[in-house]
Amino acid sequence: MSETPSALFRYNNQEFSLPIRQGSEAEQAIDISQLREKTGLITFDDGFGNTGSCQSAITYIEGEKGILRYRGYPIEQLAEHSNFVETAYLVIYGELPTQEQRSQFSALLTENAAIHERMVYLFESYPRDAHPMALLGAMVNALACYYPHLATNNHDRDIINFDDAAATLISKVRTITAMAYRMSRGLPVIYPKRGLKYCENFLHMMFSEPYDMYECPDVVARALNLILLLHADHEQNCSTATVRMVASSGANLFASAAAGICALWGPLHGGANQAVIEMLQAIHAEGDDGSRFIAAAKDGKRRLMGFGHRVYKNYDPRAKIIGKACDDLLREMGINDPLLDIARLLEQTALRDSYFVERKLYPNVDFYSGIIMRAIGIPLNMFTVMFAIGRMPGWVANWREVATVGKPKIYRPRQIYVGSQVRDYVPMEKR
């Protein structure tokens, strides 16, 4: 019988054996779940960079080598052969769909595309210039009010209706997004249209007029599919870990996804794609070709947005795919975007500069995705919303894992308290 691998831990003249857990790609982790019980110690890992918070079978990343796989399939193969809806199915259900499963999934998405008519009043009560991420978070959370049978806050019950809840979320998120866009501009709301594919239907709701149907060029639908597919999941990042944390309390899928949206909003996470374009626009407006900005980034005065990653210490494989797609799209659409020239120069300079090389800072997925979205006509303040649409399958799959795999354990990290020691209450007159 083979011996279970373990690590030896010595503390206070005592030795403790900690089991080693091994993943399917041979990555190893010390299981410290008994550490406090045995030794009175907890571990400290600021930012969780060294902490495995769960076991998951969805996505595999090897940051040092620039590897990303959904359910075992390399991202490069999915980008070449699949599309967003098929990849969403794969991420959520674990296998590529058969023809029949694919048709059923598409039918469910079509059936669930429209939002409850009363939600229009919700939109109307928000300020016209509300940030679309704030709106999206609010509306996705509100889905639990309009479809309460899909959000009972009892995982055993919610999982029975999981297929409907997942399709509701993935389909309605694009309707909500398009509606937010139309209403913020005082434009008539365009309803989803049966027969259109996922991305085409979204662009129809965004850009059609009651008197003029938007004709979606193939190249645009392809680019949007690619962007969404490349964002479909990314292991235990800030928003996905948030989704799992909220789900671990027993919360329903919509509440958990809404929390993910809030986490995604920040500029160090999903907000980076917007920050990249703002950075490129500022560089352009200042008449800089990028070299002054690089110098300021090295001095710590500016941050090169779209560069660096907590996990990838190599080229983000998604950035490679998206960089090429960006060139192709702009060429096919005949667009000459000066921001792309600046982005290319920043990339070439940074890849040769020792500051970036030593710190292993490479372009990430956000570096070029914004330029593609600009070309498609997506406004800047909606870039992060597009990321959220793409990431929805990953959040759904992670929620499902929490709700179904093993005995659910509420996420509850500990802390090292560094505040005041115990002291007596001081009456107001003595303060």
Ligand X SMILES: CC(C)(COP(=O)(O)OP(=O)(O)OC[C@H]1O[C@@H](n2cnc3c(N)ncnc32)[C@H](O)[C@@H]1OP(=O)(O)O)[C@@H](O)C(=O)NCCC(=O)NCCS
Q: Please tell me whether residue 10 adopts helix, strand or coil conformation.
A: strand
Instruction: Indicate the burial class of 80 (C-beta count within 10 angstroms; 0-12, 13-18, 19 or more).
Output: exposed
Count of residues that interact with ligand X, criterion CB under 6 A: 16
- Of the ranges 119-127, 201-209, 308-316, 413-421, which one interacts with ligand X (CB under 6 A)? 308-316
Closer by beta carbon to ligand X, 147 or else 362:
362
- Of the ranges 20-28, 121-129, 242-250, 303-311, which one interacts with ligand X (CB under 6 A)? 303-311
Helix axes 272-285, 338-352, angle to 10 degrees: 100
Closer by beta carbon to ligand X, 124 or else 358:
358
Tokens of 331: 């060429």
Name the residue with the smallest CB distance to ligand X: 308
State yes or no: residue 366 binds ligand X (CB under 6 A): yes
State yes or no: residue 308 binds ligand X (CB under 6 A): yes
| Candidate list 309, 318, 320, 391; residue touching ligand X; CB under 6 A | 309
The dihedral sign for the CA sequence 129, 137, 133, 164: negative
Write the DSSP symbol of residue 48. G
Closer by beta carbon to ligand X, 119 or else 361:
361
Q: Are 8 and 17 in contact (CB under 8 A)?
A: yes
In whole angstroms, how close is the CB of 31 to ligand X at the nearest point?
Answer: 25
Which positions are annotated as active-site residues? 309, 366
Q: Please tell me whether residue 109 adopts helix, strand or coil conformation.
A: helix
State yes or no: residue 325 binds ligand X (CB under 6 A): no
State yes or no: residue 304 binds ligand X (CB under 6 A): yes
Closer by beta carbon to ligand X, 142 or else 272:
272
Q: Are 310 and 64 in contact (CB under 8 A)?
A: no
Residues 272-301, interacting with ligand X (CB under 6 A): 272, 297
State yes or no: residue 306 binds ligand X (CB under 6 A): yes
**CA–CA separation, 431 vs 426, rounded Å?**
6
State yes or no: residue 256 binds ligand X (CB under 6 A): no
- Name all contacts of 245-250 with Cβ < 8 Å and 24+ positions apart: 245/411, 247/398, 247/399, 247/402, 247/403, 248/402, 248/408, 248/409, 248/410, 248/411, 249/410, 249/411, 250/153, 250/154, 250/155, 250/408
State yes or no: residue 268 binds ligand X (CB under 6 A): yes
In whole angstroms, how close is the CB of 360 to ligand X at the nearest point?
Answer: 8
Measured in residues, the chain has a length of 431
State yes or no: residue 347 binds ligand X (CB under 6 A): no
**CA–CA separation, 329 vs 220, rounded Å?**
7
State yes or no: residue 359 binds ligand X (CB under 6 A): yes
Closer by beta carbon to ligand X, 178 or else 372:
372
| Candidate list 208, 256, 364, 369; residue touching ligand X; CB under 6 A | 364
State yes or no: residue 36 binds ligand X (CB under 6 A): no
State yes or no: residue 257 binds ligand X (CB under 6 A): no
The residues that bridge with 60 in the sheet, in sequence order, are 69
| Candidate list 361, 371, 392, 402; residue touching ligand X; CB under 6 A | 361
Burial code (b: 16+ CB inside 10 Å, e: under 16) for 383-400 equals bbbbbbbbbbbbbbbbbb
State yes or no: residue 61 binds ligand X (CB under 6 A): no
The residues that bridge with 61 in the sheet, in sequence order, are 68
Q: Are 323 and 363 in contact (CB under 8 A)?
A: yes
The residues that bridge with 6 in the sheet, in sequence order, are 19
- Of the ranges 53-61, 183-191, 340-348, 362-370, which one interacts with ligand X (CB under 6 A)? 362-370
- Per-residue contact string for residues 379-398; x = within reach of ligand X by CB under 6 A: --------------------
In whole angstroms, how close is the CB of 298 to ligand X at the nearest point?
Answer: 7
Closer by beta carbon to ligand X, 63 or else 94:
63
| Candidate list 21, 38, 193, 303; residue touching ligand X; CB under 6 A | 303
List residues near ligand X by CB under 6 A.
Answer: 268, 272, 297, 303-310, 359, 361, 364-366
